[in-house]
Amino acid sequence: MASIARERDPGSSHYQPDPRLQRLHRRQLLSHLGLLALAVTLLAVLFVYPISRIIYTSFLIDGSFSLDHYRRIIEVDAYIRVLRTTLTIGFQVTLICLLLGYPLAYFLASVPTRWQRILIILVLVPFWTSFLVRTYAWMVLLQRRGVVNDWLMSLGLTSEPVQMMYNRMGVLVGMVHVMLPFMVLPLFAVMIGIDRNLIRAAQNLGASPFQAFRRVFLPLSLPGIAAGSILVFILSIGFYITPALMGGRQDTMIAQLIEAQVRDRLNWEFATAIATFLLIVTVIIVAVYNRILGTERVFGEDR
Amino acid sequence: MAPRDPNKLLRYLRWMDYRDRMQRRRFLKMMAMAGAATIGGKTLAACETDDADDAPAATDDTADDTATDDAPADDAADDTADDPDVDDEMTNVEGYEADGRYEGRTIVVTDFGGAMRDIWREIAYDPFSQLTGVEIVEDTSDSALLRSQVESENVEWSMSQQGGSTGILLGQQGMLEPLDYDVIQRDGLVEGIDDEHALGCLFWSTVIAYNTETFPDDPPGGWEDFWDLDNVPGARGLYDWPVPNLEFALIAAGVPMDDLYPLDVDLAFEKLDEIRDEILVWWEEGAQPPQLLADGELDICTAWNGRITDAAEAGQPIAIQWNEGSMTFDTFTVPRGAPEPEIAMDLINFMSRPEVQARMAERIPYGPIHEGAFDHLDDDIMANLPSSPELMEMQHERDIDFWLEHEDEILERWQDWLLV
């Protein structure tokens, strides 16, 4: 509403806003704030308060304020090492999801609408199965005497079983399977809004198909890449069931350490300190990423 | 889009405002309806649950339903006759009569779920319900949930089963009621399991499990064989947690089982270095080892004894080497501020009676905590029980106090050792 009045201003300098109009503006503003109240309250109660409690708890030892938990995280090698593993796995999963998801989303956005519905459902099918069942299914496929190794050996491609599980490969396969829809859906949503005539126009002006893709389509799909990548990355670094069941000794993720502190050691203060540490590192990474890729476009600011 | 004439603009804006308000009203109305529907639905659901009087975990028509408020104890006894799931013998436990002393009261108890819950229900929860008239609702144990219930002073659980060191740790953190050993009779219990806040409820062991097809004649005899990569071939697996792997490493290094504690941590890690890269799977869940062994993924692996006996009885080519196993126990606890603590103490006493403990061991291969239970058991059952005198001699017991004191630092070192 405010924008309509402002639009008027520059063209006609003699125009003075009617006081009735101003009252109306205020009412509008108040009513909009009123609508926000519910969301703000929900966020405050369900998000701001718990996070504040977690951060506050992380500075407590036996009820008194202390930085010792953070000192322990920094001084004991294990925590930084596990954090590094966690971030590495997060990046790897994001990258693979992007490489697999981008062509898939491109294809989805190109087929007729009728087919899109069916194909989107297929993309979502993994969500319908329990997470644990999917992980165990991969174990049956990938283990030493599993289905895939049986094929490889009967085709004579390899004489020894290939170790595809209990190492990084197992973790990546399991996690990419779970995460792929989170990459495909935002990419698809952005791609479907891109006017294909722009590509035709580019080609009409002499661009090769690859040039048209690289210089027109790819930049326009960047918001989707940014949104999908951030989503997948943030979800990945909180994972622990798949790495626990399909990973090797060097694939411990930080959520596993937090869980051990919460359930086994019952040291919640330290658990919250690890969680806060992870939160800070994540915020920094997302901020840097934001700077590079310009994620604000996702939220529809400067178009 | 907006009109240029100020009067028209004002009218336009008024109209927009009116439309907005109408939409807002519709929105609020919809919200109110949704809210009413949710609340109404919940109330309805609650009424229905009240009518059915169903315990959340009671899957079928067990005695939970028959022993409701309006069904007195003598009534309940009739009902059991046609209920094949209730263990009649367990209503004849010494010291307990069908007196309905807790008639009309309800407690929530927790265990680890699965097969163990079904067994506890048949041999302990339901018989205790019938004898005393108390209604028992089942839930699943969770140490973190217990702590949050106590800290928020909103405790639902009257009795909760926990791991051994977890139970004692919860006690040390002030999360548990002290156990009332006037009600819980300690005579005849195995020694060393009656902590102030946590009483052992069953024994279990971490043992070597092996594939019988890989080792048809000459099974691995102990940890020295597990460490002997040249002469005892096969893919190996260990539990991804320092307890009890450090014990096993020291035994492999030649430390006698009686002198394990206090653990020589440096020596243990040195010994573990020898096999670290040869361990194919560092398992996390108790269900993994029997699966891995049965699939032929692993040939030799540490495992929890109950899971292996189960899988072997189901026909899988797996067996246990009891020699040099590591034995420990789970515990009964009562959360601090629990409702009906006196019923909880009575139930703990009931569950630790020799008759109940013996029946538990018959159903699932965990060791009784009452010496008297062994009088009720056959030899073939005893052959699979961790705490049977014969098997106990081959094993060692975990020193929970040592672990409570040093677990943090050892855990960090373990984590680091795995990653490097």
B88-124 residue pLDDT tens: 778 788 889 999 999 999 999 999 988 899 999 999 9
Those residues whose C-beta lies under 8 Å from the C-beta of residue A200, and which sit 6 or more positions away, are none
When pLDDT is cut at 50, 70 and 90, the band that residue B30 belongs to is low
Q: Is A92 on the interface with B (CB under 8 A)?
A: no
Rg (CA), chain B: 28
Nearest CA in chain A to B144: A263
Tell me, yes or no, whether B209 and B197 share the same domain: no
Give the pairing type, strands A60-61 and A64-65.
Answer: antiparallel
Phi-psi region of B54 (alpha: psi -120 to 50; beta: other; left: phi over 0): beta
List the one residue out of B397, B389, B392 whose CA is nearest residue B373. B389
Nearest CA in chain A to B278: A249
Tell me, yes or no, whether B77 and B186 share the same domain: yes
| pLDDT score, position A207 | 92
| pLDDT score, position A31 | 85
Q: Which whole number is the average pLDDT over B307-336?
A: 95
List the one residue out of A281, A263, A261 whose CA is nearest residue A271. A261
Residue A192: CB atoms within 10 A of its CB come to: 14
What are the contacts of A82-88 at 24+ separation with CB within 8 A? A82/A252, A82/A253, A82/A254, A82/A256, A82/A257, A82/B415, A82/B419, A83/A254, A83/A277, A83/A278, A83/A281, A85/A250, A85/A251, A85/A252, A85/A253, A85/B419, A86/A237, A86/A253, A86/A254, A86/A255, A86/A278, A87/A237, A87/A281, A87/A285
B311 has pLDDT over 60: yes
| pLDDT score, position B67 | 35
CA atoms within 13 A on the CB side of B60: 7
Given a contact cutoff of 8 angstroms between Cβ atoms, the answer to whether A168 and A86 are in contact is no
Q: How far is A259 from chain B (nearest CA, A)?
A: 10
- Cα separation, B135 vs B126, in Å, equals 9
- Cα separation, B184 vs B346, in Å, equals 7
Q: Which whole number is the average pLDDT over A201-230?
A: 92
**Which of B143, B295, B418 lies closest to A250 in CB terms?**
B418
- How many structural domains compose chain B? 2
Least confident interval from A219-233, B32-46, B51-65: B51-65
Tell me what percent of the residues of chain A surpass a pLDDT of 90: 63
- Residue B56 structure tokens: 């959340």
- Residue A106 structure tokens: 């491109």
| pLDDT score, position B61 | 35
Tell me, yes or no, whether B342 and B243 share the same domain: no
Higher pLDDT, A34 or B253: B253
Q: What is the DSSP string of B316-347?
A: -SEEEEEEEEEEEEEEEE-BTT-SSHHHHHHH
Q: Has residue B39 been placed in a domain?
A: no
**Which of B17, B143, B281 lies closest to A266 in CB terms?**
B143
A236-285 residue pLDDT tens: 999 888 999 999 999 999 999 999 999 999 999 999 999 999 999 999 99
List the one residue out of B229, B273, B216, B301 whose CA is nearest residue B413. B273
Least confident interval from A137-141, B53-57, B210-214: B53-57
Q: Report CB contact under 8 Å: B413, A78.
A: yes
Q: Has residue B104 been placed in a domain?
A: yes
Given a contact cutoff of 8 angstroms between Cβ atoms, the answer to whether B368 and B202 are in contact is yes
Q: Has residue B389 been placed in a domain?
A: no
Tell me, yes or no, whether B303 and B408 share the same domain: yes
Q: Has residue B136 been placed in a domain?
A: yes
A55-104 residue pLDDT tens: 999 999 888 999 999 999 999 999 999 999 999 999 999 999 999 999 99
**Sequence spans of domains, chain A:** 76-299
Q: Is A75 on the interface with B (CB under 8 A)?
A: no
- Residue A100 structure tokens: 């697999």
Q: Report CB contact under 8 Å: A249, B418.
A: yes
Tell me, yes or no, whether B311 and B171 share the same domain: no
- Cα separation, A49 vs A44, in Å, equals 6
Q: Has residue B377 been placed in a domain?
A: no
Length of chain B measured in residues: 420
B56 has pLDDT over 70: no
When pLDDT is cut at 50, 70 and 90, the band that residue B37 belongs to is low
Tell me, yes or no, whether B165 and B197 share the same domain: yes
SS3 B210: strand
**Residue of B415, B416, B417, B420 best to disrupt the A interface, most CBs of A under 10 A:** B415
**Which of B16, B279, B412 lies closest to A1 in CB terms?**
B16
For residue B279, list chain A residues with Cβ-Cβ distance below 8 A.
Answer: 249
**Residue of B19, B419, B420 best to disrupt the A interface, most CBs of A under 10 A:** B419
Given a contact cutoff of 8 angstroms between Cβ atoms, the answer to whether B184 and B178 are in contact is no
Backbone φ and ψ for B397, nearest 5 degrees, come out as -105, 140
**Which of B13, B295, B419 lies closest to A145 in CB terms?**
B295
The residue written with tokens 């019938």 in the block is B130
Tell me, yes or no, whether B408 and B350 share the same domain: no
Higher pLDDT, A133 or B251: B251
Q: How far is B352 from chain A (nearest CA, A)?
A: 25
Tell me, yes or no, whether B151 and B87 share the same domain: yes
| pLDDT score, position A89 | 97
**Which of A31, A145, A249 lies closest to B282 in CB terms?**
A249
For residue B285, list chain A residues with Cβ-Cβ distance below 8 A.
Answer: 244-245
Nearest CA in chain A to B145: A263
Q: Report CB contact under 8 Å: A8, B416.
A: no
CATH of A76-299, one of 3.90.230.10, 1.10.150.120, 1.10.3720.10, 3.40.50.460: 1.10.3720.10
A10 has pLDDT over 80: no
Tell me, yes or no, whether B411 and B347 share the same domain: no
Q: Which whole number is the average pLDDT over A181-205?
A: 93
| pLDDT score, position B65 | 36
When pLDDT is cut at 50, 70 and 90, the band that residue B77 belongs to is very low
- Residue A35 structure tokens: 């609508």
Tell me, yes or no, whether B324 and B336 share the same domain: no
Those residues whose C-beta lies under 8 Å from the C-beta of residue B288, and which sit 6 or more positions away, are A245, B237, B281
Nearest CA in chain B to A132: B285
Q: How far is B22 from chain A (nearest CA, A)?
A: 12
Length of chain A measured in residues: 303
Tell me, yes or no, whether B144 and B266 share the same domain: no
Q: Report CB contact under 8 Å: A76, B412.
A: yes
B248 has pLDDT over 70: yes
Least confident interval from B43-52, B224-233, B277-286, B331-340: B43-52
Q: How far is A4 from chain B (nearest CA, A)?
A: 7
**Full residue range of the structural domain in which residue B294 is found:** 205-328+397-419
Higher pLDDT, A253 or A6: A253
Given a contact cutoff of 8 angstroms between Cβ atoms, the answer to whether A261 and A271 are in contact is yes
* CATH code of the domain covering residue B133: 3.40.190.10
List the one residue out of B221, B229, B185 whose CA is nearest residue B346. B185
List the one residue out of B229, B239, B326, B207 whose CA is nearest residue B274. B229
A112 has pLDDT over 80: yes
Alpha carbon separation from A8 to A4, A5, A22, A244, B4 (Å, rounded): 7, 5, 14, 61, 8
When pLDDT is cut at 50, 70 and 90, the band that residue B267 belongs to is very high
Q: How far is B9 from chain A (nearest CA, A)?
A: 9
Tell me, yes or no, whether B345 and B236 share the same domain: no
List the one residue out of B383, B211, B225 whose CA is nearest residue B303. B211
**Which of B24, B173, B419 lies closest to A81 in CB terms?**
B419
For residue A77, list chain B residues with Cβ-Cβ distance below 8 A.
Answer: 416
B380-416 residue pLDDT tens: 999 999 999 999 999 999 999 999 999 999 999 999 9
When pLDDT is cut at 50, 70 and 90, the band that residue B324 belongs to is very high
Determine the distance from the C-alpha atom of residue A47 to the mean position of all C-alpha atoms in its chain, rounded to a whole number.
18
This complex has an ipTM of 0.82
Q: How far is A301 from chain B (nearest CA, A)?
A: 22
Beta partners for B304?
B206
- Residue A238 structure tokens: 């909180």
